[in-house]
Amino acid sequence: MQTTDSQVHAFHSYKPGQAKSLTPAKNIENIAKLSIKIPKGKSGGPLSPISVDIDSSKSDTSTLFNDIELPQSAHSKSPTNILGFFTKLTKKASDLSLKSLEPTNGRIVFQMLFQDLNSVSLSKFIKSFCEKFAAGVKLDQNGLSSLIQSPDESVTPALLDNTLLKSVPFHTGSKESKVLCEVDGELSKECLVYISDLVRLLTVETSKDKVRVGVLHYEGKYLPKDYSVAYKWFSKACKNDDYALAYVYQGVCHLHGHGTPMSEEKAFRAFYIASKMSAPHPLGQLYLSRCFRSGISVSRDSRRALRWLEIAAEVLPQAQYDMGEIYYYGKENKDVDYALAVEYFKKAAIQGHRESQFRLGRCYGEAVGVELNLRASYHFYQQAALQGHASAQSRCGYMLEHGIGVEMDLDMAVGWYEKAVAGSSASAQNHLGFLYRYGKGVDQNEEIAFNLFSLSAEAGNKVAQNHLGQCYESGSGCEQDMEKAVYWYRKSALQGYAPAQNNLALCFELGKGVGINIKEAVRLYRLSAEQGNSSAQFNLGDWYQKTNNLDIAVEWFSRAAAQGDFEAQTRLEFCHSLM
């Protein structure tokens, strides 16, 4: 009898050896256009991974609002407004005795709010802040000044930050103090106190400024997290009735009960106002669409839900992704239109929406809505992976492991798998377990392999469940235990995984870890064989040969032999000699 784990996917045979450099996302159509007919793959050896082992997890759009990302304080696209806002803040800070704080740190304002803004004007602002409010700051004019006078408008925040560290020693009176830095990714308590004092001294006038202060409290990244205080700021901003984002945040607070009692009715009202203002906000339109779709404080109305979603999708990446999902799956009474779905995914992907980047990777890799383009597939998977998308990281690892759309690189493959495993990707746990099982790209370690298979199997990965069954059957990385082997084979087989069906059938036929049950064994062999599993085809032929059903035996031996099974070819010739 033969046991197998899987069939190697057809991707294995294609190794174009593409360069590792990336094509910018905005030049999607300029990526080398490949229209490749991939040949069918042959059956693989024991524990061979298959490319269809992809995490089915994605951003959970079935959980109504969890996938919507609110704007963050550090991501404003208006440097001028932010500079004006915090210039006012620092002017109001002149009455604060900065010498009482150990140490004073003007640099923290830059670190807090300007990490994503590329503008030389930032360095001017930082210099001005330090000179006026950092209690005895000494400036290295050859450091900051060279940046201030630079004509390069793409001076990076990291460069400015590094220059500040080298050029701005902070002093409190005559005693030099260390510059406050982040500790384990979090601002120190002293920094939070310092920033809180500055904010309390600020006279906040415009709605945008009030929302900014509210967001700082809502996020809790640079100020103590306090939903009640955040809600008060959002409500103050709403009183001016001139800034739609204020209503969006107010609605979110009502929706989740953040800082105010939960009220779907008030949430709906806030989203509706944000959507209908003369300068509406697309986030409000997206939230409003979700309300109509699911009947939150209003009767369900798919037509109005779709209308508001289409309006939001003119600019908002999440809404564009949602529109792509509608056409991909034929939701909301729309016909399936893969090409249109891809167009929406592209719009969102260009704006950095990682789930759309992941979906484009699959579309290009599976020729759904676009021509097959493995290089483009890897490109978009990598774009999503760089943003921490665990499933995309796993896919990058797999493509690098097998040279699919990119030059084969086991070291990089292991690196991506490890990142994905850290993100709890069951697929990556399975793939990395396979590498440890056979020492590919890493030192062989059956115990680590067993542990990784266990994690993946517990998460429901059918391939890992079969792998884990094989570990228990052979005692690889664990004590041999046929009952546990049968348990995991059955788990995988119930998910329709052909190799596990074959392995479980063999257990039933031979009575390994379970009582002999020939009828069940034949049923499982057939299920596996009909999916193309060559070992099951051979085993089924073997059973029919034993029971003198040579015609049926020949049929199954022929199918297995057609896939390159040498032993099946030998049996086929023997059966013909008996007929």
Over residues 272-308, the pLDDT tens digits come to 999 999 999 999 999 999 999 999 999 999 999 999 9
Contacts of 521 (CB under 8 A, 6+ apart): 505, 506, 508, 509, 543
How much is the pLDDT for 64? 61
Judge whether residue 15 has pLDDT over 50: no
What number of residues does the chain have? 579
Contact 391, 58 (CB under 8 A): yes
Cα 123 to Cα 80, 159, 162, 169: the distances in Å are 13, 10, 12, 16
How much is the pLDDT for 266? 96
Rounded CA separation 206/233 (Å): 11
Judge whether residue 112 has pLDDT over 70: no
Percent of all residues in the chain with a pLDDT value above 70, rounded to a whole number: 65
3-state secondary structure string, 273-316?
A: HHHHCCCCCHHHHHHHHHHHHHCCCCCCCHHHHHHHHHHHCCCC
Torsion of CA 79, 81, 85, 91, to 10 degrees: 80
Question: What is the overall mean pLDDT for the chain?
Answer: 75
Q: Where are the domains of the chain?
A: 65-203
How much is the pLDDT for 65? 66
Contact 525, 493 (CB under 8 A): no
Q: Which residues pair with 133 in a beta bridge?
A: none
Q: Which residues pair with 43 in a beta bridge?
A: 7
Which among 290, 209, 277 is positioned nearest to 244, based on CA atoms?
277
- pLDDT (tens digit per residue) in 179-210: 333 333 444 444 444 445 445 545 567 888 78
Of the listed ranges 36-50, 242-256, 424-438, 532-546, the one predicted with least confidence: 36-50
Which among 466, 467, 459 is positioned nearest to 436, based on CA atoms?
467
Rounded CA separation 518/508 (Å): 7
Q: Residue 171 is inside which H or E element, if any? A: strand 171-172
- pLDDT (tens digit per residue) in 524-535: 999 999 999 999
Rounded CA separation 167/165 (Å): 6
How much is the pLDDT for 240? 85
How much is the pLDDT for 246? 95
Classify burial at 95, counting beta carbons within 10 Å of its beta carbon; exposed 0-12, middle 13-18, buried 19 or more. Answer: exposed
Contact 461, 485 (CB under 8 A): no
Which among 112, 48, 51, 82 is positioned nearest to 427, based on CA atoms?
51
